[in-house]
Copies of this chain bind each other. A is one copy, B any other.
Amino acid sequence: MRVAGILLVEDDPSVRTGLELALTRQGHSVTAYATGEEALDHVRARRPEIVILDVMLPGIDGVEVCRRIRRLDSLPIILLTARGDDLDIVVGLEAGADDYVVKPVEPRVLDARIRAVLRRLESASADRISFGDLVIDRGALKVTLANREIHLTPTELRLLLELVRHPGQVLNRRYLLRAVWDHNHVADSRLVDACVQRIRAKIEPVPAEPVFIHTVRGFGYRFSPP
Please report A residues at the B interface, Cβ cutoff 8 Å.
Answer: 45-47, 74, 76, 86, 89-90, 93-94, 96-100, 106, 108-109, 112-113, 115-117, 119-121, 123-125, 138-141, 153-154, 157-158, 161, 165, 167-168, 179
Contacts and interface: CB of A to CB of B under 8 A. Distances in A.
B74 A123 contact: yes
5 contacts: A45-B168, A74-B123, A86-B106, A99-B99, A117-B120
| Chain copies in the assembled complex | 2
A90 B108 contact: yes
A165 B140 CA distance: 10
Contacts of A86: 106, 108-109
Nearest to A167: B47
Contact of A161 (B115, B119, B141): B141
Most buried by B among A113, A121, A138, A141: A141
Contacts of A97: 116
A138 B140 contact: no
A140 B115 contact: no
B112 A90 contact: yes
Most buried by B among A46, A100, A153: A100
B141 A154 contact: yes
Nearest to A121: B124
Given A47-B167, A165-B139, A167-B47, A93 B74 contact: no
Q: Which 3 A-B pairs have the closest CB atoms?
A: A124-B124, A93-B112, A124-B125
Contacts of A76: 120
Contacts of A157: 141
A168 B15 CA distance: 31
Given A97-B116, A120-B76, A141 B125 contact: no
Contact of A116 (B93, B123, B154): B93
A99 B119 CA distance: 12
A139 B180 CA distance: 11
Contacts of A117: 120
Contact of A90 (B109, B124, B168): B109
